[in-house]
Chain A
Amino acid sequence: MSTQQLIQAEPGPSVSVSSDRSPAPVIEVAHLRKAYGTTVAVDDVSFTVHAGEIFGILGRNGAGKTTTVECVTGLRTPDRGEISVLGLDPRRDRRELHERVGVQLQESAVPDLMRVAEAVELYASFYREPADGRELIASLGLEDARQTYFKHLSGGQKQRLSIVLALIGRPEIAVLDELTTGLDPEARRDTWRLIEGVRARGVTIVLVTHFMEEAERLCDRVAMIDHGRVVALDRPAALAVAATTSKRVRFTTTEPFLDELLLELPEATAVAHHGLEVLVAGTGDLVTAVVLALHRAGIHAEDIQTETANLEDAFLTLTDEANHSATNGETR
């Protein structure tokens, strides 16, 4: 039995949807669905983003994140569902939406032979009340690259330019898709500081990412998307806590024993053997119960480790749970 199956055997953690509704909603998505041919990219996605927050959309590659933001920003027409952004219909009021929502997408660029300052001046001319391009370039640390061709920029500089272009129209909302993918850890941390700086200017941020650490560090709330559905939506810490309702204990024994010895315990829900290494999942005071049970049977346990959950565990648990119920218990 693998760890994967072990987690699936656990009862699903209860996931609460955040109920604080203090600031006004700026994005409302209800029952969004979008399919490409027979491939369902987004099955049923609903969420609300409040003014001034950093809202994370978290999921694996291919989970439906990009399609969701493409629908929200009016680049794609949903098959079903309602979307309202700043009170606008993203398809019908597309031009007005793009005046007020800055978007940075994956796989998008400016021409190779365009200089940084030229790109910023050009994009500034697209907007009603653009920001000061020179100041924005400086505040994103691109001052020395003003006259550099786009194709000669480093990965980090390209990302920073795309943030400049997403902010050049003084947007009320900035949608940033996989902003730190491909960046080294230092550049990633720099980018996080930038995003916090942008929020400090009063811009609401929708951050699409598959990095748990990024979501945990930056986001006020996170929607976890898996197979085109929202499997959880809450503050990152709350989601991690939800995942800790199931605990895991890992240890090794000097001699083999039967799983039933531990499965009889009310605290244990699943046991996995890997040679002499054992992984037990369960709830409550699992460690004590396991150690006592082994002791009674005269088995000595060593290297006992308990695992505390973080957002990544929450994600794995929740998405596996979603997958588990979607496939009627079949394992992948």
Chain B
Amino acid sequence: MNTSALSLTPRQRRAFGLLVGSEIKIAIRRPVGLFVAIGIPCALLVIFGSIPATTRPNQALGGISFFNLYVPTLMVFVLIAVGLAGLPQQLSTYRQQGVLRRMSTTPVPPSWLLAAQTTVSLILAVVGIGILVGAGAGAFGLALPHDLGGYLVSFVALVLTAAATIALGLVIAAVAKTPQIAQGLTAVAFYPLAFFSGLYVPIQEIHSQVVTDISKVLPTGVGFTALHAAFGGHGPGVEPLLVLAAWGVGATLLATRLFRWE
């Protein structure tokens, strides 16, 4: 992946396009990943968006509705689903079956497949989050950022959270020798990360210093905080964004060091 998109020849761009296209087709043919990354969060959006009690302002939550608090959580959920669940599963399967080995004998290196997979993960994330924001605002009265700055900060927070979860997924893909091991590692990482995104219960409601401290360190906790703040109109500040960036850079370096093509 040393070659940036700009330095690719038209032929290479076409090859990469076909690679991404075929990975999308494969993702549609085995729709479990789509179900987890898009189906589950959208179902939760519809459920909580349809309950009157969750869409009304709530004094216990500082005057905002549970729904407005929960949508950023669902966005983070989409990102851990594509990065942590989908990506390592697919890459470790490809490694085990010899798909990476097959590609390593062509003029196109197997790192392109990794890049294509990452691209597909990002496309899935854009689709999932697009549906959450579009349907949330259109049908269930989701409060959107007040100004352009709010959108910009939300976008940066999303990109950094995506980078962190995808890089963590690559670390799992690098460490796991088989798809089964990848699945196990994903499960171990998935539930705590989902918890600190507020998936099961809002972190603010737990009133535990330990939980709050951990949520300030884990990428999903920080990602949620940054997104919630950006959507609520008061910026998250620089600190959460730096923590997210540190996760992204650190995990990427680790994955690069550990990754084996065979």
Contact = CB atoms under 8 A, between A and B. Distances in A.
A169 B107 contact: yes
A317 B22 CA distance: 50
A165 B102 contact: yes
A249 interface: no
A193 interface: no
Interface string B92-108: 00100111011011111
Given A108-B101, A109-B97, A114 B22 contact: yes
B105 A105 contact: yes
Contact of A122 (B22, B104, B107): B22
Contacts of B105: 73, 75, 98, 102-105, 108
A122 B26 contact: no
A162 B14 CA distance: 22
Interface stretch (A35-43, A49-57, A125-133, A287-295): A125-133
Interface size of B as a range: 20 to 34
Contacts of A127: 106-107
Given A98-B107, A126-B106, A127-B106, A110 B15 contact: no
B185 interface: no
Interface in B68-118: 94, 97-99, 101-102, 104-109
Interface in A85-119: 95-96, 98-99, 102-105, 107-114, 118
A109 B15 CA distance: 18
Contact of B99 (A102, A111, A118, A169): A111
A122 B98 contact: no
B11 interface: yes
A114 B26 contact: yes
A123 interface: yes
Contacts of A102: 105
A118 B97 CA distance: 18
B98 A109 contact: yes
B25 interface: yes
Contacts of B133: none
Given A108-B102, A109-B102, A128 B11 contact: yes
A125 B99 contact: no
Contacts of A121: 18
Contacts of A95: 107, 109
Contact of B15 (A73, A105, A126): A126
Interface residues of A, number: 29
A99 B98 CA distance: 20
B207 interface: no
Nearest to B23: A111
B257 interface: no
B19 A122 contact: yes
Contacts of A112: 97
A113 B26 contact: yes
Of B15, B26, B102, which is in contact with the most chain A CB atoms at under 10 Å from its CB? B102
Nearest to B109: A95
Given A113-B29, A114-B26, A123 B106 contact: yes
B11 A125 contact: yes
B18 to A, nearest CB: 5
A98 B106 contact: yes
A40 to B, nearest CB: 20
Given A126-B106, A126-B107, A105 B101 contact: yes
Nearest to A107: B98
A118 B107 contact: no
Nearest to A123: B106
A23 B107 CA distance: 27
B98 to A, nearest CB: 4
A165 B104 CA distance: 13
Contacts of B98: 105, 107-109
Interface of A: 73, 75, 95-96, 98-99, 102-105, 107-114, 118, 121-123, 125-128, 162, 165, 169
Interface of B: 11, 14-15, 18-19, 22, 25-26, 29-30, 94, 97-99, 101-102, 104-109
27 contacts: A73-B105, A75-B104, A98-B105, A98-B106, A105-B98, A105-B101, A108-B99, A108-B101, A109-B99, A109-B102, A110-B99, A110-B102, A111-B26, A111-B99, A113-B25, A113-B29, A114-B22, A121-B18, A122-B18, A122-B22, A123-B106, A125-B11, A125-B14, A125-B18, A126-B15, A126-B108, A169-B106
> Lowest 9 A-B CB distances belong to which pairs?
A103-B105, A108-B102, A108-B98, A125-B15, A126-B108, A113-B29, A108-B101, A109-B98, A126-B106
Given A75-B105, A102-B105, A128-B107, 11 more contacts: A95-B107, A107-B101, A110-B99, A111-B94, A113-B29, A114-B26, A122-B15, A122-B19, A125-B15, A126-B107, A126-B108
